[in-house]
Amino acid sequence: MGDEHAADAPPPPAGEVNIGVLLFVSYRAMEKRVFEALAAAGYDDLTPAQARVFQRIAPCGSRLTDLAEQAQIAKQSAGFLVDQLERAGYVERVPDPTDARARLVRVAERGARAIPLAAAAVADVETEWCRHLGEQGMDQLRDTLTRLREIADPYA
């Protein structure tokens, strides 16, 4: 089953939405709810592009090149987004203790206050999805997506 290639799989039947679109629609619905919760709490200046970089910051900080690679954007784009996040108080740049020439991007106090709000919004959405799909359906979805991540996420 895991050895199948996309080329071996038949295309979806006519009129059926492909799995990528279905995943994207669900992701965007959750993302929208997170941004609504953040905005309601006064964090209305965070953009989806900034959040995609912000959510990849490691607990002890990350190098800009790593953030760019993980967000799958150019280093210059990541630098621009980190500059914006830094001006808004979500992140800070600090010296890398392992390399005096390098700097780390680390979550700043304002960013740290936003994280639990976003996590609560995600939990609310997952609770709604669980009510809709049932506990078994939600467990199956999580298991299936976790297994798919093994081949889809190079950072897993």
Domain membership of residue 76 (yes or no) is yes
Q: Residue 51's closest CA among 74, 67, 69, 75?
A: 67
Can you give the residue range of the structural domain that contains 48?
17-152
Domain count of the fold of the chain: 1
Q: What tokens appear for 67 in the block?
A: 């953030």
Q: Write out pLDDT tens, residues 61-114.
A: 999 999 999 999 999 999 999 999 999 999 999 999 999 899 999 999 999 999
DSSP 138: H
| Model pTM score | 0.83
- Count of CB atoms situated within 10 Å of the CB of 107: 20
CATH of the domain at 22: 1.10.10.10
Contact residues for 49 (Cβ-Cβ < 8 A; gap 6+): 81
